[in-house]
Amino acid sequence: DRWEFTLGAVVVLLLWCVIILMGGHPGVQACPAPCSCLGNTVDCHGLGIHSVPKNIPRGTERLDLNGNNLTIVTKTDFSGLKHLRVLHLMENQISNVERGAFDELKELERLYCLMVECFLLSRDLSENVIQAIPRRAFRGATELKNLQLDKNHISCIEEGAFRALRSLEVL
């Protein structure tokens, strides 16, 4: 009897582990391939990916997408990532960021971008290929305090581009 109980407990435990690993537990989200995850950090650094991975866990606080081949950031790429505080997008080939791409990122404190026209408390966008800053580019970034845009190719700043930046201290 004791043997059957122990064997049954082991089987139940193994099944539970399989369910969790397959993403069947409602409180656990699998790490998006080919990234690695540790705690609330998703690391997709240097993987050569061409788009932001889908199904990034909703509790993610740090997302590293540095050193990839991203060319566009869509308005749905970061949907649902309400707890994201740090986003790394340096060393990519991003030439287009759709309007509203960062609207849901209310907790975002740091956005690191090189070779991209992305725009949020401290944003270092220096040494990029930014050519234009569209109207309302910083909508939703009312807490941004530091914005660095030096060493870019800015030739056009649309009226109202900085209107939402009520807390800006350094430009």
Tokens in use for 61? 């606080």
Task: Please choose, from the candidates 164, 103, 167, 156, the residue with its C-alpha nearest in 3D space to the C-alpha of residue 136.
Answer: 164
Cα distances (angstroms) measured from residue 102 to each of 22, 79, 141: 30, 9, 9
pLDDT, tens digit, 9 for 90 and up, residues 25-61: 444 579 999 999 999 999 999 999 999 999 999 999 9
Report the pLDDT value the prediction gives residue 164, as an integer from 0 to 100. 79
Q: Are 13 and 34 in contact (CB under 8 A)?
A: no
Q: Give the pLDDT band (50/70/90) at residue 104.
A: confident
Task: Supply the pTM of this predicted model.
Answer: 0.58
pLDDT, tens digit, 9 for 90 and up, residues 88-97: 888 887 777 7
Task: Give the mean pLDDT of the chain.
Answer: 75
Q: Are 131 and 116 in contact (CB under 8 A)?
A: no
Chain centre to alpha carbon of residue 106: 12
